[in-house]
């Protein structure tokens, strides 16, 4: 089945896709059409999840099926690009491009209220240039040389010490009102986020101390990680700096009782064409396995930093990590080769099946040896676990997985890391897809999996989305409750649940 932007039916069903294809040069448009032609009908129907959502909503959800647990009270926040267009309306190419749109599902007393707002970044307000991470500005190298991508605040959303932050790792966070989602402004923590203010979209919260750790990647005067610790009152301090082996994209890290754990993948930009404005950074990134990987272990008590080299590992997301008898154990979603980078650079027309993933466990021994074992060969991403087990041995991981689709994730899988068993819930209708599952513990629960998985399902036939609540103890049962919206939410990245009434 070929998508044709000149087809009235296709253009009406997927206007964002039509504008994107029309914006491509003839050769690239032909290659995009060939990729689309290789997709099956279900994948073709799934494309609607990447359509923009220009409308900001605020309403009580009327259509609730099943029974929302009485003990489930709080707000599920989610973040991701709401539109893959710049502030001039020009289509953007890369999955990581696009203005951040935060969604909030507020749950309580068996009801759900939905609200979404775009983060009022300088780009959203039309006050920046239009050179993006994966899309150069129009006008050739003269319009791009020396220009940095704008902060889009589109990757994650985290609440800590009474503050709600929309995160984008190339710059400082934007603070939002936790109820209205109105943008309060850029947060630099009293000037302690200096220079570009790079601040990862994947902070780690220590459940014992209440502290939040995070980092930024800086390249001047040399490639290094600048690491931060924020106390329970929200005061940020510079914690450590750690040298990187080369200029690399570092997206995530993990926390143990003893260490901050970084796994550096050789995702390396070709710096010259980026600096000269000839290529956007997203097109210049490549996987260089000959450079190898390195584990950087930063002691939480201020001791000497350990660096352990390993064979190359391609990953974006770590799951969890913990200390065990002098070793450090790290779980991650890994990829076979650099096909993933090509896929996300042309995500609208690419298949994830071309970049198979694996859930892997690494063990760094006290003597500096690295071993690796597979935990699951299910095609998966966006790993989550019980937040109370952050940095500790844990039994269960929850991931977005694929069973039928090749374009997006159509299943949620619970992985038992002790019994090496999996349980999966897959969408029922053709072309539907799930976003990342967020584990939410039942109040006063003692079992690790006593709680719920909250996710959002895109319903292709209706072009709408719905909140889905699953019992983490009995995933095979399917949804215990759903709350159907009157519109769709574009595919996003990450989210978190904040308990308590709003």
What whole-number distance in Å separates Cα of residue 198 and Cα of residue 202?
12
In this prediction, residue 194 carries a pLDDT of 81
Give me 264's structure tokens: 């550096």
Q: Which residues contact 368 (CB under 8 A, 6 or more apart)?
A: 306, 308
Spatial distance between the Cα atoms of 175 and 107, rounded to a whole number of angstroms: 22
Cβ contact 124:143 at 8 Å? no
Percent of the chain with pLDDT over 70: 97
Helix, strand or coil for residue 326? coil
pLDDT at 354: 76
CB 160 within 8 A of CB 187: no
Is the pTM here over 0.85, yes or no?
yes
| Cα dist from 186 to 102, 174, 362, 444, whole Å | 16, 4, 37, 36
119-124 average pLDDT score: 98
Nearest by Cα to 460 from 13, 12, 2? 13
Q: Can you give the pLDDT at residue 216? A: 96
CA distance 3 to 227: 46
Choose among 328, 248, 333: nearest CA to 295: 328
Q: In percent, how much of the chain has pLDDT > 90?
A: 90
- Checking if the pLDDT of 1 tops 60, the result is no
Q: Which residues of 14-53 are buried (b: 16+ CB within 10 A; e: fewer)?
A: bebbbbbbebbeeeebeebbebbeebbebbbbbbbbbbbb
Span 470-479, average pLDDT: 96
Cis peptide before 450 (omega within 30 of 0): no
Q: Count helices and strands (H / E) in the chain.
A: 7, 33
Which domains occur in the chain, in start order?
Answer: 1-38 (no CATH), 56-499 (2.130.10.10)
> Which pLDDT score, from 0 to 100, does residue 196 have?
79
pLDDT score at 5: 59
266's CB contacts (< 8 A; 6+ apart) are 246, 248, 287, 288, 289, 290, 291, 292, 293, 312, 314
Alpha carbons 348 and 86: distance in angstroms, whole number: 16
Confidence of residue 155 (pLDDT cuts 50, 70, 90): very high
Quote the pLDDT of residue 4: 66
- Tell me the per-residue pLDDT of 171-198, one tens digit each, with 9 for 90 and over: 999 999 999 999 999 999 999 998 778 9
pLDDT digits (tens, 9 = 90+) for 196-244: 789 999 999 999 999 999 999 998 889 999 999 999 999 999 999 999 9
Structure tokens at 22: 């029309």
Give 8's pLDDT tier (boundaries 50, 70, 90): low
Q: Which residue has the tokens 């952050």?
A: 390
Residue 267 burial by CB count (10 A; 0-12/13-18/19+): exposed, middle or buried? Answer: buried
Grade residue 302 by pLDDT with cuts at 50, 70 and 90: confident
Tell whether the model's pLDDT for residue 116 goes beyond 60.
yes
pLDDT tens-place string over residues 410-428: 999 999 999 999 999 999 9
């Amino acid at each position: 089945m070929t998508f044709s932007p000149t087809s009235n039916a296709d253009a009406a069903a997927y206007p964002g896709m039509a504008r994107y294809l029309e914006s491509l040069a003839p050769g690239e448009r032909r290659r995009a059409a060939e990729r689309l032609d290789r997709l099956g009908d279900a994948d073709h129907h799934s494309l609607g999840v990447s359509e923009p959502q220009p409308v900001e909503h605020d309403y009580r959800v009327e259509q609730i099926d099943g029974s929302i647990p009485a003990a489930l009270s709080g707000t599920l926040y989610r973040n991701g690009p709401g539109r893959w267009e710049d502030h001039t309306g020009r289509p953007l190419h890369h999955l990581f491009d696009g203005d951040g749109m935060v969604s909030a599902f507020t749950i309580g007393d068996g009801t759900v209220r939905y609200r979404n707002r775009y983060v009022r970044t300088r780009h959203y307000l039309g006050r920046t240039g239009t050179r993006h991470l994966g899309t150069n500005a129009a006008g050739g190298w003269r319009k791009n040389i020396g220009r940095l991508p704008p902060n889009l605040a589109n990757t994650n959303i985290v609440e800590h010490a009474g503050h709600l932050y929309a995160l984008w790792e190339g710059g400082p966070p934007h603070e939002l009102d936790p109820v209205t989602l109105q943008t309060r402004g850029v947060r630099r923590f009293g000037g302690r986020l200096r220079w570009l203010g790079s601040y990862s979209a994947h902070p780690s919260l220590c459940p014992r101390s209440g502290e939040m750790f995070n980092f930024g990647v800086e390249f001047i005067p040399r490639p290094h990680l600048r690491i931060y610790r924020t106390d329970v009152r929200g005061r940020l301090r510079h914690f450590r700096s750690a040298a990187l082996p080369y200029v690399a994209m570092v997206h995530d890290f993990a926390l143990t009782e003893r260490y901050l754990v970084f796994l550096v993948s050789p995702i390396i930009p070709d710096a010259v064409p980026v600096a000269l404005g000839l290529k956007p950074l997203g097109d210049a990134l490549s996987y260089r396995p000959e450079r190898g990987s390195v584990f950087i272990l930063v002691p939480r008590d201020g001791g000497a930093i350990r660096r352990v080299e390993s064979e190359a590992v391609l990953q974006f997301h770590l799951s969890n990590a913990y200390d065990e008898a002098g070793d450090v154990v790290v779980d991650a979603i890994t990829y076979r080769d650099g096909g993933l980078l090509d896929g996300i650079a042309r995500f609208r027309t690419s298949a994830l099946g071309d970049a198979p993933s694996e859930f892997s466990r690494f063990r760094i021994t006290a003597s500096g040896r690295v071993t690796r074992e597979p935990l699951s060969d299910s095609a998966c991403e966006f790993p989550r676990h019980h937040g109370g087990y952050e940095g500790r041995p844990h039994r269960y991981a929850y991931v977005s997985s694929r069973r039928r689709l090749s374009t997006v994730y159509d299943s949620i899988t619970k992985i038992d890391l002790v019994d090496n068993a999996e349980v999966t819930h897959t969408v029922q209708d053709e072309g539907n897809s799930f976003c990342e599952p967020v584990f939410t513990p039942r109040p006063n629960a003692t079992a690790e999996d006593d709680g719920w998985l909250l996710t959002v399902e895109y319903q292709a036939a209706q072009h709408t989305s719905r909140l889905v609540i699953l019992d983490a103890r009995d995933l095979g049962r399917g949804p215990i409750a759903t709350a159907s919206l009157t519109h769709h939410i574009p595919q996003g990245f990450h989210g978190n649940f904040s308990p308590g009434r709003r």
